[in-house]
Structure 1
Amino acid sequence: MIWWTIPEEELLVVTEKWKGVCWVGSRSPLDGSELRALKSTGANALSQTPFGWQSDVNTPEIRWEVDAERQWWGESAKGIQTTHDSSQVLGIMNMLKPHLWVRGSWPGEIEMKNEDDWETWFDNYEQFILDYAKLAERLEIPMLCIGTELEKTSDRENDWRAIIAEVRKVYSGKLVYAANFTEYEKIKFWDDLDYIGIQAYFPLSKKHNPDLKELKAGWNKQLPAVEKMVRKFKKPVLFTEIGYCNTVDAAIEPWVWPNERKEIEFSESAQALCYEAFFESVWDKSWMAGVYFWKWYPNRHDREPDFTPQGKEAEKVMAKYFLAN
């Protein structure tokens, strides 16, 4: 299946856009209504995220089990299969997007202190992602993300090209890497992948409650660099994650976790305007292959603030554009 072409002006034209969310694996099995509720928004894609565990950013050991009893059901091989099969029936495409969970930090800080540890880390990571590549192939999941926000590792071009080559041996679907918005311009191995993947938490404003005009101006500052990468590598772009909290400061540092915003005033309208600005500024770009909004729970919860658009003004904005022709 070909999802894009290269016109004479050297910018890609995507013929099918993925309208996605980052699906949260549930503790217990689904009853079916959860995916139908997502489908009603016009979504046609979701990402599933199992985890590997790293105890320290400077330690090369990685722990993972593809199907462990102590996992949440939705992050286990059985849960991933059931979610995939059930969503596929509804016309929702799946991407398998394994993450590393790093104690006390985040994947962007993973960095080894010597060459021996780097070699060990890449050996471990290769086995980790190959296990999930084999699962994705067995379940016929059509897209695999080979890494997420591993910013201090991705300059090791040859190591990543070697991993991609090994994944291609066991997996026949589309491949993407989810680069942090501060990372994607530095990556040299996009030509080995099918998409340029961006964790698109770009800052769009410096103030609380910006209006739509200011948010769109924020996007206009970011898009030339994205289009430069499209021209260079001739690859379409996936926003493998994008999201905003329902707080007045949502556009300033969109990546900040909700538990760091507890003293910030809530604002559904600020979150919704950030969604509107994305759709008005980016969605119709010829190179835009799809978006995955962070994040979507099988069952809505009442913890606030949070990134999810569920039950908020942002969901209405998302559905308006996802359901449009």
Structure 2
Amino acid sequence: RWLLHYARMAELYDVDLLVVGNELGGLTGQEAPWRALIADLRRVYSGRLTYASSWGDEFEKLPFWDALDYIGVNMYYPLAETGQEPRADSPRVRGLVEKLAAVSQKYNKPVLFTEVGYPARATAAVRPWETNDAPLNPELQKRCYSTVFEAFYGRPWFAGLYWWKWPSSGDAGSYDGSFSPLGKPARQVLAAWYSRPPGAASPSGAGGTLSSR
């Protein structure tokens, strides 16, 4: 009933996308109730539906992706090994692209990064999900942003992404190690990519052309 209330509200305000759950790995093995919920939501909401899965097993094995419009993943797979720099052409990132493409192909659904982000810390590429006391490294955060764009943006199976995070208060800056790109070099990456018209070459010269997503 709780989610149906918000689905009706989303329909009323012509919301494009509704996320039916977020990182509920302890519950998503119960396939039948989820399918029933999704069917109920579609009766009151005409927009698109996704689920925000945890990266790893939940994303790769969720039993009801076929009932949704997008394969949603909170994309915190490491971009590099310890001591390595994140690069779109590295074996690790190429393998990650292949993994996500395979799940998309299996269900014939586009992949949506329901969450992706990197703290401005020295551990950003290796443990992107962590907020810790590692040394500040805004340049590494910037390289992680660039790697994600270069590796995924414009691929036909990729629906888009939501960055974690952009605080509504505007409280962030180069002095902190938070996930926010505000006041940090990563913001330049966002500006460069999002200001390009569809079909234009990527700002870095890698990763093909840009989609409109």
Would you say the 8 A contact 2:115–2:163 is kept in 1? yes
Structure 2 gap ranges (5+): 198-213
2:48 aligns with one of 166, 174, 177 = 174
The alignment partner of 1:213 has SS state of coil
Q: Higher RCO, 1 or 2 (CA under 8 Å, sep at least 6)?
A: 1
User: Based on CA coordinates, which of the two structures has the bigger radius of gyration?
Assistant: 1
Q: 1:215 to 1:180 in 2, by over 3 A?
A: farther
Q: TM-score, normalised by structure 1?
A: 0.57
The alignment partner of 1:295 has SS state of coil
Would you say the 8 A contact 2:172–2:182 is kept in 1? no
Which residue of 2 is the match for residue 100 of structure 1? none
For structure 1, which segment, 186-195 or 237-246, has the greater mean C-alpha deviation from structure 2 after superposition? 186-195
C-alpha RMSD of the superposition: 1.6
Would you say the 8 A contact 1:216–1:277 is kept in 2? no
Would you say the 8 A contact 2:142–2:189 is kept in 1? yes
- CA distance in 1 between counterparts of 2:62 and 2:85 reads 33
Number of residue-to-residue matches in the alignment:
194
The alignment partner of 2:102 has SS state of helix
The alignment partner of 1:317 has SS state of helix
- CA distance in 2 between counterparts of 1:285 and 1:321 reads 14
Q: 1:224 to 1:302 in 2, by over 3 A?
A: closer
**2:199 is the alignment partner of 1:324:** no
Which residue of 2 is the match for residue 156 of structure 1? 30
Would you say the 8 A contact 1:205–1:214 is kept in 2? no
Which residue of 2 is the match for residue 73 of structure 1? none
Q: Alpha-carbon deviation of 1:157?
A: 1.0
Would you say the 8 A contact 1:147–1:177 is kept in 2? yes
Sequence identity (%) = 36
Structure 1 gap ranges (5+): 1-126
Q: 1:299 to 1:216 in 2, by over 3 A?
A: farther
Regions of 4+ moved over 4 Å: none
The alignment partner of 1:299 has SS state of coil
Q: Alpha-carbon deviation of 1:215?
A: 7.6
- CA distance in 2 between counterparts of 1:214 and 1:233 reads 25
2:17 aligns with one of 143, 165, 173 = 143
1:49-128 superposed matches below 5 A: 127-128=1-2
- CA distance in 1 between counterparts of 2:46 and 2:111 reads 20
Which residue of 1 is the match for residue 77 of structure 2? 202
